[in-house]
Amino acid sequence: MTVLEASPAIGTEVQLSSEPVIETRNLDLVFQTADAPVHALSDIDLTIGKGEFVSLIGPSGCGKTTLLRVIADLEQPTGGTISVNGMTPHEARENRAYGYVFQHSALFPWRTIAKNIALPLEVMGIDKAERDRRVEENLALVDLKGFGRKFPWQLSGGMQQRASIARALAVQPDMLLMDEPFGALDEIVRDHLNEQLLKLWARTKKTVVFVTHSIPEAVFLSTRIVVMSPRPGRIHEIIDCDLGEDRPLDIRETPEFLAIAQRVRDGLRAGHAYDE
Amino acid sequence: MRLGAFVTLLRVRALPVIAVLLGILVLWYLGAVWLNAAFAYDAAARSGTELSFSEMIAQTMSQKRPVLPAPHQVAAEMWKTIVEIAPTSKRSLLYHSGITLSSTLLGFVLGTALGIALAIGIVHSRVLDRSLMPWIITSQTIPILAIAPMIIVIFASQGITGLLPKAFISMYLSFFPVAVGMVKGLRSPDAMHLDLMRTYSSSKLQTLLKLRLPAAMPFLFASMKVGVAISLVGAIIGELPTGAVAGLGARLLAGSYYGQTVQIWSALMTAAILAAVLVILIDIASRAVTARMGARP
């Protein structure tokens, strides 16, 4: 149980190399349901710095998606404080501080890919010329040049998810919030998209908060990994993942990678142990 | 290639329709023989002659006022009153159809607009949802035959006659399927799409225009098909109490005054064809819209 005792210290004392963009203190969220209140988040202390790639990992019911939704102002916390870019999540949302990528692409089936990417820009009231420019730019960024006039059903699942990432990027947010974006895709497509996402992150230097339940995915992508445990959903351990910026796919066979993966796995197991 | 596609279309779409049509015609002829035979035998008995089977059959097909006119009698009457008589004449079915059609379409447009407006209100306001929905359903439990003359009388007392009262009855009937269908349609976007719009801080109006309304389109067209058919029913019912002036309803009423069953049936058939054409037109519009909205072929 030494890991368990040591873990909160790792979380709070980590030295951020950049200014914080997300800060939560004693964050609590209790859902009132018909039979019993559900403690979805309990005492979450987390600071995420600018340009970091932070993964939230844990078994289902650990509150990782809920935490992401609180950051996005899609859920309201019932206790504690949270700031996003120094503002409340509500203000941050109104300021379009983030782009949100859902588990499924959530493209509108009646809009072409280009029109889907333009959707947030239309909502923001950006003029047509600028919309077209940003659509082209972001289509290129996710390797979908020439697919703008296709409808979503004409694209594969992986391409649809890339389009949805382009849509999130079109807003030009400082931050990407991604909720198991590749969870519904097969492993080969997933590897490919992981590589692309990493390149994209290296190029744009955006802050990414990434929810996943895949250990290799978390280790491959992240600069830090937040291991969460369920009932009540809380942070069990925060693990640094300093594999450097250049991460080819076969880094996953290196001892450094496997050591971190092992630590994540141990953390998940320890956090889950009392459950059985 | 194109010809092959056409033949396939004909076989897949037209053949079942033709088969059913033939079945109906056979049943109709059998019915005409069965229902009109009594009169034929009576007439023969009164004149003291014996009817052979084939004579009886011929008799049932050509009576002046049959209980059930044979299809070819109705077809001949329709040919005469639609094609041969000038459409400006009061004896032309085209003239009467035009009058019924105009109030049908006006009522349908008003009813569809009212239905959409109510649905938008209900979807956006819990108070409207709770207060309006029961009344909308109640409105349709009142027999339209009972309330139609009241509507005509009330409008007439205000000096309004003709098109508008009939259109009002059509609207009263056709807003209902549109309102119910659109409430369901406007609520059909899934939570993820609604969350997505929320992350854009989209206004309620933007969410309505960019998400709810496009998502509701299939529901709209399905309910418009029902709506346009009952609009026609509403217009015909609206014409019954007007003292048989004009319109298919008036034609039905006049036919029943004088026992002109052939005239009644040809008006009925014309109304049915009119309804079918209206529904087909909406179906074509629906296909055009869904094709534009990127539906899979």
| CA trace torsion A57, A63, A64, A69 (10° rounding) | 180
Same domain, A20 and A66: yes
More confident position, A153 or A250:
A153
Q: Mean pLDDT across the stretch B272-297? A: 89
A188: containing domain: 2-97+174-275
Same domain, A206 and A255: yes
Contact by Cβ (8 Å): A217, A56: no
Q: What is the pLDDT of residue A240?
A: 85
Q: What is the pLDDT of residue A6?
A: 39
Work out the end-to-end distance of chain B between its first and last CA atoms, rounded to an integer number of angstroms.
Answer: 18
With an 8 Å Cβ cutoff, is B293 touching chain A? yes
Give the model's confidence band at B297: pLDDT under 50 very low, under 70 low, under 90 confident, else very high: low
Partner residue facing B294 (CB), from A104, A112, A120? A112
C-beta atoms surrounding B20 within 10 Å = 10
Q: Mean pLDDT across the stretch B286-290? A: 91
Q: What is the pLDDT of residue A15?
A: 56
Q: What is the pLDDT of residue A8?
A: 42
Q: Mean pLDDT across the stretch B54-83? A: 88
- Across the interface, whether the CB atoms of B196 and A102 are under 8 A apart is answered yes
With an 8 Å Cβ cutoff, is B254 touching chain A? no
In chain B, which among 171-200 make CB contacts under 8 A with chain A? 192-193, 195-200
**Does any domain span residue A103?**
no
- Structurally, chain A folds into a number of domains equal to 2
- Across the interface, whether the CB atoms of A108 and B217 are under 8 A apart is answered no
**Does any domain span residue B76?**
no
Task: Identify the helix (H) or strand (E) that includes residue B13.
Answer: none
Q: What is the pLDDT of residues A158-209, one digit of tens each?
A: 899 989 989 998 988 889 999 998 888 888 888 888 888 888 888 888 899 9
Tokens found for residue B22: 């033939």
Question: Is residue B259 predicted with pLDDT exceeding 90?
Answer: no
Contact by Cβ (8 Å): A188, A182: no
What ipTM does this complex have?
0.85
Cα angle B227-B230-B231, degrees, rounded to a multiple of 5: 80
**Does any domain span residue A260?**
yes
Highest mean pLDDT among A63-67, A91-95, B184-188: B184-188
Residue A243 to residue A155: CA distance in whole angstroms: 34
Partner residue facing A93 (CB), from B193, B201, B211? B201
Q: How many CA atoms lie within 13 A of B290 on its CB side?
A: 16
Strands A53-57 and A234-240, sheet pairing: unpaired
**Does any domain span residue B250?**
yes
Rounded to the nearest angstrom, the minimum Cα separation between B124 and chain A is 19
Q: How many CA atoms lie within 13 A of B6 on its CB side?
A: 3
Residue B69 to residue B74: CA distance in whole angstroms: 7
With an 8 Å Cβ cutoff, is A147 touching chain B? no
Same domain, B170 and B283: yes
Q: What is the pLDDT of residues B81-140, one digit of tens each?
A: 888 888 888 888 889 999 899 999 999 999 999 999 999 999 999 999 889 888 888 888
Partner residue facing A94 (CB), from B193, B201, B296? B201
CATH of the domain at B137: 1.10.3720.10
